[in-house]
Amino acid sequence: MKRIILASASPRRREIMTLAGLPFDVIVSDCDEEVSYDGPEDMVRKLSARKAEYVAEKLQKEETEPHLVIGADTVVYFRDQILGKPKDKEDAFRMLTELSGNSHVVYTGVTVIDTATDRTETFCEATKVEFYPVTEEEIRAYIATGDPLDKAGSYGVQGLGAFLVRRIEGDYFTVVGLPIAHLMQILRKY
C-alpha cells in the first residue's frame, strides 16, 4: 500500500490511526478554513477535501513518491446550529449547557486523495449523541480540566468528557473525529 499522510493536527485522529494499526505520517494542513456550505454534512465534506487537497498539492509539487492523503473535519450540530471549537471557556460553558440533557449529531467528513492519480473520495458519517443532564458545577469542573477547549462542541467523548454521554447511535469514532472503519473500507481498495 502507498504511504499514508494524515493531514490533521488532531492528537485524537493520530491515536485512532495508531490503535487501528495503520502506519502513517502527519503533515498538518494550514489551509484557509472559511467555506460556503449548505448544512453540516456539506461543510465537513468540503473542509475535509480542502485539507487533503492542500497537502496533496504540496506533495505533488515536491514530486515525492505517491501518497494517500487523508483530510478530516468534525462539527457538532444542534438545533440548526453548527458548533465548532469553543472560542474560550465561556463559549464552552454556553455550548455544554445547551447540549446537556439533549441529543445532537456529530458529523465527520473524510477525504482520501491518491497523489499519483488525483483520485479523490469523500464521505461523511453522522452519529447521534445523547447527553445526560449535567449540573452547572459539573460543566465548570469539566471546563477547568482544559479538555473541552480544543474540541468541536466543547467535549471529548473518549476521556474526561465520557461522563456526559448516555448513548450514541452510529459510529463511535466519528464522534472522536475519524470514522476509522469506513476509512479502512476505502483504504483497502488501494
The residues that touch a second copy, with contacts defined as CB under 8 A, are: 16, 19-21, 127, 132, 145, 157-160, 162-173, 180-182, 184-185
Residue 70 in grid coordinates: 487523508
DSSP string over 67-96 = EEEEEEEEEEEETTEEE-S-SSHHHHHHHH
Measured from the CB atom, the residue of 21 and 79 that comes closer to a second copy is 21
Give me the least distance between CB of 188 and a second copy, in Å please: 9
Give me the least distance between CB of 31 and a second copy, in Å please: 28
Taking the CA of residue 74 as centre, how many other CA atoms within 13 Å lie in the half-sphere pointing to its CB? 24
Give me the least distance between CB of 152 and a second copy, in Å please: 17
d(CA 109, CA 178) in angstroms, rounded, equals: 8
Best CA proximity match to 167, nearest among 77, 79, 102, 74: 102
Residues designated catalytic: 73
Give me the least distance between CB of 65 and a second copy, in Å please: 25
Residue 165 in grid coordinates: 454521554
Measured from the CB atom, the residue of 5 and 129 that comes closer to a second copy is 129
Measured from the CB atom, the residue of 8 and 127 that comes closer to a second copy is 127
Measured from the CB atom, the residue of 24 and 172 that comes closer to a second copy is 172
Residues 6+ apart with CB under 8 A from 174: 74, 106, 107, 108, 125, 126, 127
